[in-house]
Amino acid sequence: MDTSDKEPEVVAKDTSNANAGIIPAPDFLDLQDIPATSESILQTQTDRKARKSLSPFQESMLRFRRDTRAMISVGALIFLVLLASGGPPIYKHIGGTYQSDFGTPIGPAIYHSYDYQQLSSQNQGPSAQYWLGTDNLGRDLLARLMQGLLISIIVALLVEIVDVVVGVLVGVLAGYYGGWTDTILARFTDLIFAFPGLLFAILLTGIFGQSASDYFGSLPVVGPFLANGNGPLVIVSLALALVSWPLMARYVRGQTLQLKQQQFIEAARSAGTSDVRIILRHIIPNIFSIVFIASTLNIAGTIIGESGLSLLGLGVRPPGSSLGLMIADGADTLEIHPWNVLLPTIVLTIIVLAISFIGDGLRDAFDPHTKD
Amino acid sequence: MMQFLIKRLIGLLFIVLGVTFITFMLGYFAPSDPIKEMMGEHFDYQTWQQLRHVYGFDLPWYQQYFNFLTRLARFDLGTSFHPQQRAVWDIIKDGVPISVELAFWGTIVTLLLGVPVGIWSALKANTWVDTLNMSAALTLYALPVFILAVFVQILILWLNNAGISWPVIGWGTPWQYSWSDIQYKLAPILTYGAAGYAYYARLTRTTLLEVLRQDYIRTARAKGLRERVVIYRHALRNAIIPLITVIGLLLGLLVTGSFFIETIFGIPGVARITVNSVFERNYPVIQATTILIAIGVVLGNLIADVLYLLVDPRIKTE
């Protein structure tokens, strides 16, 4: 009894706080369970009048922009992406000349590269030469961190492209036409769900990883990038893409099935619009929000998957760098030099949490239930 | 109900068949020649062919796959490559009880901690208790299990420096719970269950809040029933149904988690054996563990289906 008595009081306090300009506590559920006070109803009504001309997408983005947690996450993510893409070339030009192990002078282009080992300076703390210190082989931690971030981002983008293209294509076809596409999709998703994605990725990378490293390293254009122990990344991306698209296809299929019943599709069909045109002009724009949200959340999964596989020793190999590999490298000396492990762990935590918060914020912003 | 179960069983059989086919094909197309590797320096063509014949590698793929299946049907998991001629089951058998134990306690943590915390949070919705619980749950769910494991290890090391002596890696004796065993097992199990715990806490809160908004809850309250009866008899029973449907997802979390927990905490379970076999390119062992894990997941899903039928009598057949 007492809880039900207390509840409205607390809720009322919460909303008044929000009106006073104080950030409300983050809510993980849609806002429905907070009964609207008369004040807030008035406010939404005036709001609605003011942005009558906005499209649903703009309206959602407006709601998204008001989500403080998500906006902080967007900022953190942009910072990390800029650090990964623009950091290494700048970092390689900053710093004086130092003595190498062999007594020859070396510039920052060498000792600020992610695979240069200076065995005389292992496990150092931050210094003018190594901004974030060195690992247990005397490699620059900041350079390795930026390279690892870059790897994570590239793999996430590649996997996401495959995930969205294949997932949307198969999902729309299965939802729109039904029939054998639908049956095959259903069977395939069942199989993927019964067969945990990571296990499949472990199998694939474990069996083909080594030869992929040899093969892709010798290719003409992409060779230099894939040579430094990055070859297994191709297999990692492939494996992660293979296990991620069925879920996307399932979401898209569900949404397409719903849309197909709607009257505007029926109207388009009765006006003689071709199937291709209906799919391109009427269905795909309407599944945009669900694809957007699902792919954001999947990016977090992909980054976790890549670093996890690298941590197990199946992804990027030395001298390459990846956040997971950095954790594995430092794990042996965890007791003496926890910083080597802590640094990649913290960065990975930030990136994963940021993407999850953005995904959460997007879901709240695009969810039609939270509109009123 | 029988009809539904039989239908599900047949479907599951096909899934297991699909899994065996995938694992077999990956081994079949593997780029390295295990026999050549096994012989190393002592390579000569005659013995190579002989060994290929012993392992059945000279047969066409469909025959190899058929042999593979018939051996599986007789619960014969084959012979390992490293160490040579040792039965695969011999290598795996010590890991199975450990992994089962880990999964068992992981599930216990998930259900016995996650569901009550979810209920508590729902009853105190939008108070600081709820906010705190749900922030913790969101963080635990979003973070990958290996990061949690690393944080836990660093925490233990830090506590060890402060004076207590607590083991950082290892497992102790499976299914034995003396104080030293518990010391070994506590941290891995809690870390292992964390993701599932967070998921269940959030899900329980959401579903319970949804149920509490229903008309029949209002009716129950209007009848003057005590709040405890309303919550536990009327609301919770209905809130439990969605919790059962996501057991499949829980199983996925458990399998994924086991790879990292066993590797990071140095636990000699099935997942660790799988990873080691991947490095040794010991395909028969990889195939066997993969199929074992898949069967475990499939059986778990079947149990979830049966529970679902028992809890919700509305879903009789279809």
- What is the pLDDT, as a whole number, of residue A1? 38
Query: A326-368, pLDDT tens digit by residue?
Result: 888 877 777 777 788 888 888 888 888 888 888 878 877 777 6
* Range with lowest mean pLDDT among A22-36, A153-167, B239-253: A22-36
Question: A26, B297: Cβ pair inside 8 Å?
Answer: no
Is residue A44 over pLDDT 60?
no
How far is residue A161's CA from residue A168's CA, in Å, rounded to a whole number? 11
How far is residue A197's CA from residue B212's CA, in Å, rounded to a whole number? 36
Contacting A residues, span 200-259, partner chain B, CB-CB under 8 Å = 200, 202-204, 206-208, 210-211
Of B168, B260, B301, the CB nearest to A194: B301
Query: Exposure of A73 by Cβ count < 10 A (0-12 exposed, 13-18 middle, 19+ buried)?
Result: buried
- What is the pLDDT, as a whole number, of residue A34? 46
Task: Please give the DSSP secondary-structure letter assigned to residue A33.
Answer: G
Question: A312, B263: Cβ pair inside 8 Å?
Answer: yes
Question: B131, A334: Cβ pair inside 8 Å?
Answer: no
Q: Is A300 on the interface with B (CB under 8 A)?
A: yes
CA quadruple B216, B222, B223, B224: dihedral sign: positive
pTM score above 0.80: no
pLDDT greater at residue B185 or residue A20: B185
Pick the residue of A9, A29, A342 with the most B CBs within 10 A to test the interface with B by mutation. Answer: A29
- What is the pLDDT, as a whole number, of residue A115? 74
Pick the residue of B12, B28, B130, B150 with the most A CBs within 10 A to test the interface with A by mutation. Answer: B150
Instruction: Quote the mean pLDDT of chain A.
Output: 74
pLDDT greater at residue A118 or residue B96: B96
DSSP string, B154-204: HHHHHHHHTT----SS---STT---HHHHHHHHHHHHHHHHHHHHHHHHHH
Domain boundaries, chain B: 2-92, 96-268
Of A7, A25, A327, the CB nearest to B150: A327
Question: A342, B221: Cβ pair inside 8 Å?
Answer: no
Distance from the B200 Cα atom to the nearest Cα atom in chain A, whole angstroms? 14
- What is the pLDDT, as a whole number, of residue A24? 42
Query: A194-230, pLDDT tens digit by residue?
Result: 667 778 888 888 778 777 777 776 666 666 666 666 7
Question: B281, A200: Cβ pair inside 8 Å?
Answer: no
Question: B256, A198: Cβ pair inside 8 Å?
Answer: yes
Distance from the B144 Cα atom to the nearest Cα atom in chain A, whole angstroms? 6
> Is the omega angle on the peptide bond into residue B188 within 30 degrees of 0, that is, cis?
no
- What is the pLDDT, as a whole number, of residue A368? 61
Q: How many CB pairs under 8 A join A and B?
A: 158
Band (pLDDT 50/70/90 cuts) for residue A30 is very low
Band (pLDDT 50/70/90 cuts) for residue A41 is low
Domain boundaries, chain A: 147-370
Distance from the B225 Cα atom to the nearest Cα atom in chain A, whole angstroms? 10
Minimum Cα–Cα distance from B22: chain A residue: A200
Cα angle, residue A93 at apex, residues A88 and A98 outer, rounded to 5°: 110
Distance from the B247 Cα atom to the nearest Cα atom in chain A, whole angstroms? 12
Backbone angles phi, psi at A155, to 5 degrees: -60, -45
- What is the pLDDT, as a whole number, of residue B111? 86
* Range with lowest mean pLDDT among A44-53, A241-250, B268-277, B281-290: A44-53
CA atoms within 13 A on the CB side of A368: 4
> Is the omega angle on the peptide bond into residue A24 within 30 degrees of 0, that is, cis?
no
Of A193, A199, A342, the CB nearest to B248: A193
Q: Which of B221, B240, B222 is nearest to B230 (CA)?
A: B221
Question: B131, A26: Cβ pair inside 8 Å?
Answer: yes
- What is the pLDDT, as a whole number, of residue A282? 79
B96-268 belongs to CATH 1.10.3720.10:
yes
Q: Which of B291, B286, B268 is nearest to B81 (CA)?
A: B286
Q: Which fold has domain A147-370?
A: MetI-like fold (1.10.3720)
Q: Is A199 on the interface with B (CB under 8 A)?
A: yes
Question: B294, A195: Cβ pair inside 8 Å?
Answer: yes
Q: Is A186 on the interface with B (CB under 8 A)?
A: no
Token pair for residue B16?
């297991």
Of A196, A203, A345, the CB nearest to B23: A203
DSSP string, B45-59: HHHHHHHHHHHTTTS
Question: A208, B31: Cβ pair inside 8 Å?
Answer: yes
What residue ranges of chain B have pLDDT lower than 50? 317-318
Is residue A5 over pLDDT 50?
no
Minimum Cα–Cα distance from B295: chain A residue: A194
Q: Is A304 on the interface with B (CB under 8 A)?
A: yes
Q: Is A9 on the interface with B (CB under 8 A)?
A: no
Query: B153-195, pLDDT tens digit by residue?
Result: 888 888 888 877 777 777 777 777 777 778 888 888 888 888 8
Mean pLDDT for the stretch of residues A239-243: 85
pLDDT greater at residue A45 or residue B149: B149
- What is the pLDDT, as a whole number, of residue A194? 65
Q: Is A360 on the interface with B (CB under 8 A)?
A: yes
Classified as helix, coil or strand, A118 is coil
Token pair for residue B5?
């179960």
Question: B278, A202: Cβ pair inside 8 Å?
Answer: yes
Residue A60 CB partners (closer than 8 Å, separation 6+): A289, A365, A366
Minimum Cα–Cα distance from B252: chain A residue: A196
Q: Is A197 on the interface with B (CB under 8 A)?
A: yes
Is residue A31 over pLDDT 50?
no
Is residue A29 over pLDDT 70?
no
Distance from the A309 Cα atom to the nearest Cα atom in chain B, whole angstroms? 9
Is residue A192 over pLDDT 70?
yes
Contacts with B138 from chain A: Cβ below 8 Å: 28, 356, 360
* Range with lowest mean pLDDT among A97-101, A320-324, B283-287, B289-293: A97-101
Query: A275-291, pLDDT tens digit by residue?
Result: 787 778 877 887 887 88
Classified as helix, coil or strand, B313 is coil
